[in-house]
Amino acid sequence: MRIGIRNVSKGFGATPVLRGVTLEIEDGELFFLLGPSGCGKTTLLRLLAGFHVPDEGEVWFGDRRMNDVAPHGRNVGMVFQNYALWPHLTVEENVAYGLDVRRVAPGEKRERVREALAMVRMEGFAGRNPNQLSGGQQQRVALARAMVVRPDVLLLDEPLSNLDARLRLEMRDEIRRLHEGHGITTVYVTHDQKESLALAGRMAVLRDGRVEQVGAPRDVYRRPGTRFVADFIGECNWLEARVVSVRGGWARVGTALGEMECPAGRLAEGERAWAGFRPEAVMEGPATANVFGAVVESVNYLGEVEEHVLMASGNRLKRFVPNPRMAPEAGVGGMFHVDPADVLLVADGPGRG
C-alpha cells in the first residue's frame, strides 16, 4: 500500500507539532520516522492510524483519501511501545481480538491466529497469559496481533525501546524477517539510530515537526544535508570552515587544522560552512591530504571499539578504533588524517536544536 502524506500540519492547543510534512512511502517499503523526543514522529504515526486528524493537508493510502476514515476502516495494524496486551486474556485471545472486532468466523479465526503465532514463533504459548511471558515474547505477541488482521499498513511505535540490548537485537532480526517474508508497507518510529540504520529501506529525520532529510540509511549517514542530521544519526567532529576554492565537485576549505579537501556539495567559493568527519574516519599516520597533528588526551575502552579523545590546534576531536588491542598512552602525540571523501561539508548554521 502506497502512503501519501501531503503538506500535513497538526497542533494541540496553541502548540504546533507537525508543520507542513510531505512524504511519499512506497508500497511494501520499510520506512523509518526518526528524530528526538518531541519532533512529531509519534503524532505522525497516530495520524496514519486514524487516532488524530490533520489540521491541514491530506493522508492517502493508495488512491483513497484517509482524512475522514475512522481507525477501524483503515485496515492498519499497530504495535505500541508498551505492547498494550490485555492482561486478563490469553495469548491466543489477545491475538484474536482484532478478528473478533471484525466478526471473523470461528474456524477462520482459529486458523489465522495459528498462522500469526507461527509467524512470530509463539505457537507453543497460546494458552499463557501476558504476565507469564518475557518482554521479548510479549513483543512477539503484539506483532502477531497486528499481523493477524492482514493489514495493508503496519505501524510500529518504538517497539523495541522496553527491551534489553540482547533482546533488541533478536527482535530487530525478527522484524526484518517478517517484513521480508510478507512485504507489508511498514512505518517504524524510533529515536534509536542503530535500529534505523540496520532496518530501514529509507528514513525521514524529523526536527521540530518538519522533515529535515529523507534518504536511504547509508546516504543519510555518509552525506547528511545538515549538521543537525549528522549529529542525530551519529557522532561527528566539527570545525568552522570557509570555502577557499571549488573545482570539479571538490572543495578546499580553511579550518583550524589547516586546509582540508572534501566534496563541495552545493557550497560555493567564499561561503562559510561546517567541515565535519566521523570519529571512525580518523586514521593514524601521514597521507597526501587532510593531515594534522594531535595529542591523545584520553582513552575510553568500549569493547568492540576504543574511543580516543584527541587535542588538535585547540579542538577536541574523537577517534574510534575498531578491534583495539593496545591503548596509546595519554599525552602522546602523533600524525592523523581523514580521507577527503569522508569529510562532510554543510552550510553554516546551528547544530543541534
DSSP codes joined into one string, 70-136: -GGGS-EEEE-TT----TTS-HHHHHHHHHHHTT--HHHHHHHHHHHHHHTT-GGGTTS-GGGS-HH
Length of the chain: 353
* 50 is a domain residue: yes
What would the pLDDT profile of 190-238 be if each residue is shown by its tens digit? Answer: 988 989 999 999 999 999 999 999 999 999 999 999 999 999 999 999 9
| 111 and 216 together in one domain | yes
Tell me the pLDDT band of 114, cut-offs 50, 70 and 90. Answer: very high
Q: Using alpha carbons, select from 151, 158, 198 the residue that is nearest to residue 177.
A: 198
* 353 is a domain residue: no
What would the pLDDT profile of 115-138 be if each residue is shown by its tens digit? Answer: 999 989 899 999 999 999 998 899
- Nine-digit cell at 250? 571538490
What would the pLDDT profile of 39-68 be if each residue is shown by its tens digit? Answer: 999 999 999 999 999 999 999 999 999 999
Q: Is the dihedral of CA 40, 46, 179, 143 positive or negative?
A: positive
What would the pLDDT profile of 271-291 be if each residue is shown by its tens digit? Answer: 999 999 999 999 999 999 999
* 352 is a domain residue: no
* 137 is a domain residue: yes
Lateral strand order in the sheet of 250-255: 258-263, 250-255, 237-247, 272-277, 343-347
| 172 and 299 together in one domain | no
* 161 is a domain residue: yes
Q: What is the pLDDT of residue 266?
A: 87
Q: Is the dihedral of CA 170, 176, 179, 181 positive or negative?
A: negative
Domain boundary among 227, 258, 278: 227
| 120 and 18 together in one domain | yes
Q: What is the pLDDT of residue 349?
A: 63
- Pairing state between β 272-277 and 258-263: unpaired
* 78 is a domain residue: yes
* 289 is a domain residue: yes
Residue 92 and residue 127: Cα distance in Å, rounded?
A: 6
Residue 174 and residue 294: Cα distance in Å, rounded?
A: 44
Structural domain including 272 reads: 235-347
Count: domains in the chain: 2
Phi, psi (rounded to 5 degrees) for 105: -60, 145
| 221 and 136 together in one domain | yes
| 223 and 239 together in one domain | no
Residues facing 77 on adjacent strands: 154
Q: What is the CATH number of the domain that holds 299?
A: 2.40.50.140
Residue 218 and residue 200: Cα distance in Å, rounded?
A: 10
* 79 is a domain residue: yes
User: Residues 238, 342: contact at Cβ < 8 Å?
Assistant: no
What would the pLDDT profile of 134-185 be if each residue is shown by its tens digit? Answer: 988 998 999 999 999 999 999 999 988 878 888 888 888 889 988 999 999 9
Return the higher-pLDDT residue of 349 and 206.
206
Q: What is the pLDDT of residue 293?
A: 97
| 274 and 306 together in one domain | yes
b/e sequence 228-244, b meaning 16+ C-beta within 10 Å? bbbbbbbebbbbebebe
| 256 and 220 together in one domain | no
Domain boundary among 202, 227, 252: 227
| 169 and 24 together in one domain | yes
